[in-house]
């Protein structure tokens, strides 16, 4: 149940007691993790989440999603991939407070940085919750580019504050962040007008999008950036940060793609490019299925 649909007294108890406690916990945890080496926090959280994850309801959901999207895999292959997934997701959490330092060290090898570094025009950087997706925004700062990102705001404002403070400390120029919804398109346009790059995790479920094939099945797909790219002749870059071993990553940035034709954005054009985008993201996931966020309800609750 959505927080704002809960009974009044329960909602106020959560807002005035639970949320502040969660905020303090997140603040202390992130602060402690910053004092420890990234190799240790990554390993530790990988083991913790790798132990707890398979015992949660999210594990059953992830297995169901894998069976739905990759039916060619055996039950044993799915179990092996999911075990690696939980370890990977735990490592992503353990690396979170250190991501800015990892982007300026031996932990990250970038392939194709010149594609965004040598361009002076704004564009869209498309990725998903694959590998360590936090790199996708940090690399923009590493390349010296102004950027913005569409995100889902947490219900807890105290936890949001902790995360916002981390973002402000890890960038040379304050990025543009805009929440999912009607205001996102306006925010994206403002960033593009300043020749900035807009980062989008396009593998999430978007209610305001269209249905397009994703891993072989119809799924809600974001199209705001496609509509803008068609009308404004804006380039699109695909990007992913794949874990190579431990805390070491290969970041791949592909050359710009221009999808515009005549400056128009018809429903048929939008649907075509949404399907093309989902096909590209599906290929990325199939290459490294253990590094994708399989518990996410990309196909809704009815599968």
Give me the chain's average pLDDT, please.
87
| Full DSSP string of 198-223 | EEEETTS--TTSEEEEETTEEEEE--
Under 8 Å between Cβ of 143 and 116: yes
Domain ranges of the chain: 3-291
Q: Which residue has the tokens 């075990």?
A: 83
Q: How many other CB atoms are found less than 10 A from the CB of residue 161?
A: 14
Residue 155 has pLDDT above 70, yes or no: no
How far is residue 290's CA from residue 130's CA, in Å, rounded to a whole number?
9
Could you report the per-residue pLDDT of 157-203, keeping only the tens digit for each? 655 655 565 555 555 567 788 777 667 778 889 999 999 999 999 99
Residue count of the chain = 303
Report yes or no on whether pTM surpasses 0.85.
Answer: yes
Lowest mean pLDDT, pick from 8-17, 160-169, 275-284: 160-169
Under 8 Å between Cβ of 272 and 226: no
pLDDT at 293: 96
* DSSP one-letter code for 174: P
Could you report the per-residue pLDDT of 37-81, keeping only the tens digit for each? 999 999 999 999 999 999 999 999 999 999 999 999 999 999 999
Closest CA to 200 of 237, 252, 243, 162: 237
Could you report the per-residue pLDDT of 217-247, keeping only the tens digit for each? 999 999 989 999 999 999 999 999 999 999 9
pLDDT at 194: 92
pLDDT at 163: 59
**Residue 292 Cα to chain centre, angstroms:** 10
How far is residue 133's CA from residue 131's CA, in Å, rounded to a whole number?
6
């Amino acid at each position: 149940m959505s927080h704002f649909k809960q009974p009044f007294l329960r909602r106020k108890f959560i807002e005035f007691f639970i949320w502040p406690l969660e905020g303090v916990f997140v603040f202390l945890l992130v602060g402690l993790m910053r004092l420890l080496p990234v190799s240790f926090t990554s390993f530790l959280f990988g083991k913790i989440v790798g132990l707890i994850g398979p015992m949660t309801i999210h594990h059953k959901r992830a297995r169901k999603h894998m069976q739905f999207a990759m039916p060619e895999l055996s039950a044993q292959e799915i179990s092996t991939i999911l075990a690696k997934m939980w370890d990977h997701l735990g490592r992503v959490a353990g690396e979170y407070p250190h991501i800015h330092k990892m982007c300026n060290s031996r932990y990250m090898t970038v392939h194709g940085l010149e594609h965004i570094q040598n361009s002076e025009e704004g564009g869209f950087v498309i990725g998903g919750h694959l590998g360590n997706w936090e790199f996708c925004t940090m690399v923009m700062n590493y390349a010296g580019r102004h950027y913005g990102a569409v995100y889902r705001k947490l219900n807890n404002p105290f936890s949001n504050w902790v995360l916002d403070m981390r973002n402000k400390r890890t960038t040379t120029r304050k990025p543009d962040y805009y929440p999912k919804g009607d205001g996102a398109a306006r925010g994206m346009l403002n960033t593009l007008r300043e020749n900035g790059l807009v980062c989008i995790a396009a593998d999430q479920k978007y209610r305001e999008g269209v249905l397009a094939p994703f891993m072989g099945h119809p799924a809600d797909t974001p199209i705001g950036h496609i509509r803008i790219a068609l009308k404004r002749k804006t380039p699109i870059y695909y990007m992913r940060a794949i874990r190579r071993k431990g805390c070491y990553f290969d970041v791949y940035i592909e050359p710009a793609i221009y999808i515009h034709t005549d400056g128009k954005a018809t429903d048929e054009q939008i649907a075509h490019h949404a399907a093309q985008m989902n096909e590209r993201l599906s290929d990325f996931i199939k290459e490294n299925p253990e590094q994708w966020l399989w518990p996410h309800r990309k196909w809704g609750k009815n599968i």
